[in-house]
Structure 1
């Protein structure tokens, strides 16, 4: 269901709700997250899920909200929260109304952008890694022990990268020795941009959503991709010989996403809290794992899932070097956006 929904959302505008249910709560979200496995307590209480409008990427979502689109809550990834705060679009959550708040992994709240003396502005919910997906029948494990596989001439025309500024820059920075993107020098930026230009020469296609990446790999067009968990999950379900290297020598990218609460929202504030409490319900951790291959921010809920089940979905904890996609300087992110567009255009 998730992947069909992603394709639909990628091909349609988001000016209207794409999935209509409870009219008192409009959730602006990534396609697929209307999954009932995440909404059990909400549905039990209200008889149906919220109404959804979908976006294809974080930048599109922010631009839509900044242009006047109205929703009650939205699901940005961590690096975007500062833009919503700076624009005055969101308000703090009342964590006294969120019983599971104390069980959220604290490293996901370790930023004054998410939590400060004015309140809690962000509720982290889901996380995983961007790492190397590869065809195990055709790509030796030794080749994917390093991120330099993306610039390896042996894979010219057989590589796919996400059409996503944050993920491609996380890759390029890691590949050039940077693990903290909150402090990137001009020299580091240029080294990463040069690396991306080299990798671009190997790229067959930039994937817009996990289903597109999975199709490219299943067809044999692509042998190596910088991927999220869900594309790998889909390929495994189809019996494809997929490997997922989360510990290359240079490191992997750790991302996390969650929900913000909009000011002057059109719907029910009470139902917004019912929604976030449904997400943090222990049952939702299993729903998230089954539907997406992602890990849940609620440590108590995660502790109820067998370690072998987490490992099977590549959602188990790993050790190594990570670039965690925490908020960065907005000027730097705009610079990355502009440079990435030039690279894709061949400049």
Structure 2
């Protein structure tokens, strides 16, 4: 992903349409495209002579629907706001953390929810985290324009913005832009205000991007000047020497997310291999591999200590002095309401 990432974007996107890659058939990992990084599964490969088999998805809701419809895998890689949905549907079972030595080094803040960890066990292994902010072309967009999230409703950028085709991400933007930085307590009035703002933002949208490679490509082409982006898409543009900056300190704030792995019930593979995979992912040495390949932070505190502060800042993972909306689990009914409203907005209603 680091070398010629934009040229590889079409290949990465094509993975969505392909069946699982045939490697070690003893473990099927259902994952985001681009996460089949050798540095993350290195010790698994060392032990078994091959990487696990991967099957890829494009977004959290697509992944959930496929698994709920009967697709079988051994482990999956959702983000934190999906975990209650997986639990309620009976799709996952707890991890036995006695088999995961590095569990003790996971940053405790990433497990601070009874949805992730309760008296029945640990349901979610946080592995990676990132930021959501304003990616922009600094050669054409003045810094003062992106000092506020209202840049997305600024008529100056009609047809020149892009938003993620992800309900969670666009609602994090809409809530922040309308003064809400905690989506675990949202009133109907706040929801309606955010929805109205999102309808205004829709008027400026040239396209809704499906994955970071697509976002990188449309910005590199010059079609889009401003995007609500994960930090990895910005890193891909930087690696390929395109003009890009990442604004995470707009006055209204920015967002953050945590993703990790769940242990799927009835997986077709070897349970021990699932634990070997997680032990490879969670080792400290995986932290620089994750940052280099994907641009995300790692949940292992010991691993993150080895990464210089200037490298974290360049990746867009440094602390900021503005509100940060954490995309943690929120009310499932609110999330379904957000999904339905987002589909209406995209359709022009």
TM over 0.5: yes
CA distance in 2, matches of 1:317, 1:5: 33
Q: Which residue of 2 aligns with 1:152?
A: 154
Gaps of 5+ in 1: none
1:197-276 alignment to 2 at 5 Å? 197-276=199-278
CA distance in 2, matches of 1:303, 1:125: 15
CA distance in 2, matches of 1:238, 1:303: 27
CA distance in 2, matches of 1:189, 1:288: 35
Is residue 9–residue 56 contact of structure 1 (8 Å, CA) maintained in 2?
A: no
Q: How many residues align?
A: 343
Q: Which residue of 2 aligns with 1:165?
A: 167
CA distance in 2, matches of 1:117, 1:198: 45
Deviation at 1:5, TM superposition (A): 4.8
Is residue 41–residue 281 contact of structure 1 (8 Å, CA) maintained in 2?
A: no
Determine helix, strand or coil for the equivalent of 1:124: strand
CA distance in 1, matches of 2:244, 2:117: 39
Is residue 5–residue 31 contact of structure 1 (8 Å, CA) maintained in 2?
A: no
Residues 1:320 and 2:326 are matched in the alignment: no
TM-score, structure 1 as length reference: 0.96
Residues 1:6 and 2:12 are matched in the alignment: yes
Deviation at 1:44, TM superposition (A): 1.2
CA distance in 2, matches of 1:193, 1:318: 26
CA distance in 2, matches of 1:208, 1:137: 25
1:63-120 C-alpha deviation (Å, 9 max, x unpaired): 1111111100000000001111001111100111111111111111111100011100
1:259-304 C-alpha deviation (Å, 9 max, x unpaired): 0001121111111000011111111101110001110011110001
CA distance in 2, matches of 1:265, 1:191: 43
Report the aligned-residue RMSD: 1.2
CA distance in 2, matches of 1:149, 1:96: 48
CA distance in 1, matches of 2:313, 2:297: 11
Residues 1:77 and 2:84 are matched in the alignment: no
CA distance in 1, matches of 2:173, 2:108: 25
Q: Which residue of 1 aligns with 2:178?
A: 176
Deviation at 1:315, TM superposition (A): 2.4
Is residue 176–residue 253 contact of structure 2 (8 Å, CA) maintained in 1?
A: yes
Select the residue among 338, 341, 346 that pairs with 2:340.
338
Is residue 161–residue 206 contact of structure 1 (8 Å, CA) maintained in 2?
A: yes
Q: Which residue of 2 aligns with 1:306?
A: 308
Determine helix, strand or coil for the equivalent of 2:266: coil
Is residue 214–residue 232 contact of structure 1 (8 Å, CA) maintained in 2?
A: yes
Is residue 35–residue 294 contact of structure 2 (8 Å, CA) maintained in 1?
A: no
Is residue 135–residue 243 contact of structure 1 (8 Å, CA) maintained in 2?
A: yes
Determine helix, strand or coil for the equivalent of 1:184: coil
Deviation at 1:311, TM superposition (A): 1.7
CA distance in 2, matches of 1:239, 1:24: 40
CA distance in 2, matches of 1:283, 1:223: 36
Q: Which residue of 1 aligns with 2:36?
A: 34
Residues 1:187 and 2:189 are matched in the alignment: yes
Is residue 162–residue 206 contact of structure 1 (8 Å, CA) maintained in 2?
A: yes
CA distance in 2, matches of 1:264, 1:218: 43
Select the residue among 4, 24, 41 that pairs with 1:22.
24
Gaps of 5+ in 2: none
Comparing 307-316 with 203-212, which one deviates more in the overlay? 307-316
